[in-house]
Structure 1
Amino acid sequence: MLSSLLIWIDNTILTTVFETLTDPDDGLGASPAQLQWSTGSYTLVFATLMFAVGALGDRFGHRTMLTAGLVVFAGSSLWAAYAGDAGQLIAARAVMGVGSALILPSSMAVLMWTFTGPARATAVAISSASSGIGIAAGPLLSGVLLDHFWWGSVFLINIPIVVLALIGTFALIPNFRSPTPRPLDVPGLLLSVSGLAALAYGLIRAGQVASWTPAEVWGPIIAGLVLLAAFVRVELRRRQPSFDPRLLAQRMFGGGNAALGLLLFAMTAASFYGAFYLQGARGFSPLEAGLAFSPAAFGSIVGAPLGVRLARRWSLRAVSSTALTTAALAMGSLMFFGLHTPLVFNEIMYLVQGVSIGMVIGPVTGALMNTLPLERAGAGSAVTNTVRQTGSLLGIAVGGTIMSIAYQRAVDGSLGGYSAAVRDRARISAEQARHVASEIHRPALARAADDAFISAMHLSAFCTMAIALTGAVLLMIALRPARTTPAEPEEVAQDPVMSDR
């Protein structure tokens, strides 16, 4: 749980620091593409290494992988804290992705080995609640630190958490490992990393050039899709694949993971532009923005155990698909928000969104993992987390690109009376437009940038809602009850969380 807390604190802290990082004086003067890559490099490495870590954990022990991940995470946090430019920050974040990839599948596998039956679903829900605590703590800690220290201080909070987690790991966790270890899949690892990297680069590049037609955009996208197709083909031919695509062919495991991947896609995209909405367009301080986000975090803490309890009273399918639909509508409600929307409506929206997402992720994850044999816990956890992080990566790339293109097209009509240098800076992002407006004492330019940002946010909110609603439909299909046979053990059907498989 400390490991999960660590990862989620770090994710939400970075989101709160985005606005500061764009400042050329107090931050790094980062562009939107660099901000996308500061998150995308982390998520890319995180997503593509996890299935290899699952195999390594099955062979060498999940505690060994967890310990190594904590050490790597601490070292890369120090690097990120003292990064001198955006390039160094991106590189440090990529190494942090290595640490997270070592941590998350290992911690999930430990849960799978430790608990069985209904207790396992409860344990996964409690672990998901700890991530909610991280989501709540991250923005608040970030706001306090940014009010008193430089932006890099937000990464130093990881160090004491790592120390506590290492002490607990050595004192309490046995070194679980599979009795039938699988070989490391080097070809699959190389194909997945290169494929996702090319795909993400093409999608982010589209936002930089504000077009989908240049060869530098569609070329990497096509290359990435081809490499990922080759990756799937290679894995299907392996006798013992580290990432087993056949698991995704199972209706519940595959459909459920696809739905969770789409939910993470929508969540990441929404959080990306949500941070700029509160701190940039609305002018909140980092601490005020953290407090504004807090209802979503506290809602997720409540939602995870609530979802498990409600699923046992009714069914996982009814509870989780309804909750995901509600989360989608909450994300879509940003289409009606503007520069002067009363803050109470933001708080209600974030609370509903947090509770709904918590009711989906915890119970559904527990049910998906219960479909796998114990000896495949590491591999199954890796598949689940790889799909989620791929969804997050695409959410950053696609969501950020949609925002960039929509913003540039919306602001272009207001830049006619300015010099070429001012127009170029103003088209990069609303943050850059506000900075140049302050420099040349033209508040009208800042107002035009704010209006263009709100217009782009409305389009992005519609897109994230559509993605999340698609996930809800997939979840309803995936969790459709299987036909029972007279020979089926009666006790399996007693727990709705278990029986939905």
Structure 2
Amino acid sequence: MASTPVDHSAPDTAARSKVERFRANPWLALTAVSFGLLMVQLDGSVVAIANPAIGRDLGASTAELQWVTNSYLIALAASMILGGKLGDRFGRRLYYLVGIGGFVVTSVAIGLVGSIEGVIGFRALQGLAGGILMPNTLGILRAVFPPKRFALAVGIWGMVSAVSTSLGPIIGGLLVEHVDWESVFYLNVPIGLVALVFSAVVLAESKNSGGRQRFDLLGVVLLAAGLVALVFGIVKGETWGWASAGTLGSLALGLALLVVFGLYETRQEHPLLPMRLFRNRSLTTGAVMTLLNFFVMLGGIFFIMLYLQNVRGYTPVEAGVSTLPMSIASLFASPLGSQLTSRLGARVTIPLGLLLSGAGMFGMLSWSVDSSYATMWPPFVAIGLGVGIVLPATAATIIGNAPVRDGGVASGLQSTMLQIGGALGTSVLITVIAGKVGSSLFGELTGAGVPAGVARGLEKAEDAVTMGIAPVSGDMPAQLRAAVVEGSGQAFVNGLHAAVTVTGVLCVLGAAAAAVFVKGRAEEARDMRAQAEAAGEPVGVVAAH
């Protein structure tokens, strides 16, 4: 009896098609990348709270403790464009998962290593993992969301980023106070495992559809070396002095290597970072505004926390709770900013956000050593609104103006500027505070009732006062102790006023620059259509394989 062959291809094709449709769901992709983003951004802010406990437990010096942060920051900044390029070429889903796995493994290693040298080393490796992970979050979104929905997706991405950064001090404070410092790193394990499993199930692979290309190894070396030297100079500028030979040499070397990198890239058929991207003035301006936005956000959070904890005496948890208005404002502002950008264009929303941040900074000029909370929360709300509006607008300006094939690289550029802006914010603003403290400390101490001779001796404690710490000792008479606390606190507030003035002015200048150089909606739409036609790909369509 003849047998009849059974064709299983139709059911197999139908099942495969169903899986592909499931994995092409952009909102599931957004949920998946939000887990990874939450892990990285939360880690960045909780570690700042854990540093004092790490120093006490491992017997670390101040310089070693600084490298717990600096090694991570430098590795993160140096690897982001590379991470985006790897995702664009070999698979954004693949490298996103690799980054998550690396971040989880290094987090566990940091908690177990038991030495400050080990913590510093694994923090650098954690930064490399973050540099692979972060740019592929936006690269994935750029590939799966159509243009009309991309701004909203970036707004939610920005909301997750801003809120997780702001909640870090609260979560970190609770863990350090009630568990131990290692727990702030172990926290990444459950988040990372959920991210790995969920992302493996829901994310579709996307990468460039071009043929075999030579990988730009020399470009990788030049870019990484330039960024390492530049960020190293920035983070050491405050301790070495901005005019010191070491700082100037590091900054000059970094800039020189980046110039060489740029010239080299223009001569490559398959460059690591295509210089043609910078022909789009909106993209270039968006990159600069990203730097400024995180200069404001991370620099502002840094000196606000010094004020709340060291001048006002708040615990880390109390300080974190006090800044909740900033987090809540960011929560609402990021999706709002994306919708405003869709309707009005980034030429309107970036200046609007920067002016709000500037208003928040200028609002802190009313702060004193004993300000009521009623004077604090309005600036927090203004800064949260401003940063939250600018973040999705600049991300959409950078990544939305890049071809889909360069989505990961553009995301890496955005993330790199974000990290450099944060490093500049903390380093530059603490230098501004230190300068004002140094010039006003003696006068504030004597004005508070400290004898001139004692005040001269206390000027040597300028570094402590710059961090908001009064140089008092247990053997001081109560009246003198109170005078030193009052004078030191006022000197720090003088420095804070100088820092917020500088930041506010930069926000106003940035708003004016964005209004001039970011393209209007009609011009941007024409450019994006021309760009898509030249590339032979409709903007916002997945290049899936």
Task: Give TM-score, length-normalised by structure 1.
Answer: 0.87
Q: Does residue 42 in structure 1 map to residue 72 in structure 2?
A: yes
Give how far 1:290 is off: 0.8
1:194 aligns to what? 225
Cα distance in 2 for partners of 1:399, 1:83 equals 33
Cα distance in 1 for partners of 2:349, 2:468 equals 44
Secondary structure of 2:308's aligned partner: helix
1:370-409 aligned within 5 A:
370-409=400-439
Is the Cα–Cα contact under 8 Å of residues 427 and 433 in structure 1 kept in the other structure? no
Taking structure 1 as reference, are residues 277 and 73 closer, same or farther at Cα in structure 2, changes over 3 Å only?
same
Cα distance in 2 for partners of 1:87, 1:309 equals 46
Is the Cα–Cα contact under 8 Å of residues 48 and 189 in structure 1 kept in the other structure? no
Aligned match for 1:170, one of 200, 207, 212 = 200
Secondary structure of 2:472's aligned partner: helix
Q: Which has the larger radius of gyration?
A: 2
Cα distance in 2 for partners of 1:334, 1:10 equals 28
Taking structure 1 as reference, are residues 43 and 249 closer, same or farther at Cα in structure 2, changes over 3 Å only?
farther
Amino acid in structure 2 at the alignment position of 1:392: G
Q: Does residue 472 in structure 1 map to residue 511 in structure 2?
A: yes
Structure 2: segments with no counterpart, 5+ residues = 1-33, 532-538, 540-545
Q: Does residue 115 in structure 1 map to residue 145 in structure 2?
A: yes
Give how far 1:3 is off: 0.8
Cα deviation 1:228-257 (Å, max 9, x = unaligned): 222222222222221223312311111112
Taking structure 1 as reference, are residues 384 and 488 closer, same or farther at Cα in structure 2, changes over 3 Å only?
closer
Is the Cα–Cα contact under 8 Å of residues 356 and 385 in structure 2 kept in the other structure? no
2:472 aligns to what? 437
Secondary structure of 1:429's aligned partner: helix
Taking structure 1 as reference, are residues 36 and 470 closer, same or farther at Cα in structure 2, changes over 3 Å only?
farther
Cα deviation 1:192-220 (Å, max 9, x = unaligned): 333333334444444224x4443233222
Aligned match for 1:427, one of 447, 462, 472 = 462
Q: Indicate the larger mover: 231-240 or 158-167.
A: 231-240
Give how far 1:481 is off: 2.0
Is the Cα–Cα contact under 8 Å of residues 102 and 129 in structure 2 kept in the other structure? yes
Amino acid in structure 2 at the alignment position of 1:7: V
Give how far 1:85 is off: 6.1
1:495 aligns to what? none
Give how far 1:419 is off: 11
2:83 aligns to what? 53
Give how far 1:439 is off: 4.8
Amino acid in structure 2 at the alignment position of 1:461: V
Taking structure 1 as reference, are residues 143 and 166 closer, same or farther at Cα in structure 2, changes over 3 Å only?
same
1:457 aligns to what? 496
Cα distance in 1 for partners of 2:425, 2:280 equals 25
Structure 1: segments with no counterpart, 5+ residues = 493-497
Taking structure 1 as reference, are residues 423 and 440 closer, same or farther at Cα in structure 2, changes over 3 Å only?
farther
Give how far 1:102 is off: 1.0
Taking structure 1 as reference, are residues 122 and 410 closer, same or farther at Cα in structure 2, changes over 3 Å only?
same
Count of residue pairs brought into register by the alignment: 487
2:543 aligns to what? none
Q: Does residue 11 in structure 1 map to residue 77 in structure 2?
A: no
1:333 aligns to what? 363
1:43-122 aligned within 5 A:
43-81=73-111, 88-122=118-152
Q: Indicate the larger mover: 270-279 or 89-98.
A: 89-98
Give how far 1:312 is off: 4.2
Secondary structure of 1:437's aligned partner: coil
Cα distance in 1 for partners of 2:468, 2:342 equals 52
1:178-257 aligned within 5 A:
178-180=208-210, 182-209=213-240, 211-257=241-287
Cα distance in 2 for partners of 1:95, 1:445 equals 43
Give how far 1:108 is off: 1.1
Cα distance in 1 for partners of 2:279, 2:289 equals 14
Give how far 1:123 is off: 1.5
Amino acid in structure 2 at the alignment position of 1:453: F
Cα distance in 1 for partners of 2:320, 2:350 equals 27
Secondary structure of 1:237's aligned partner: coil
Taking structure 1 as reference, are residues 283 and 42 closer, same or farther at Cα in structure 2, changes over 3 Å only?
same
Give how far 1:466 is off: 2.5
Cα distance in 2 for partners of 1:317, 1:228 equals 28
Identity %: 25
CA RMSD of aligned residues (A): 3.3
Cα distance in 1 for partners of 2:485, 2:182 equals 28
Give how far 1:25 is off: 4.5
Taking structure 1 as reference, are residues 309 and 296 closer, same or farther at Cα in structure 2, changes over 3 Å only?
same
Amino acid in structure 1 at the alignment position of 2:507: A
Give how far 1:340 is off: 1.0
Is the Cα–Cα contact under 8 Å of residues 82 and 132 in structure 2 kept in the other structure? no
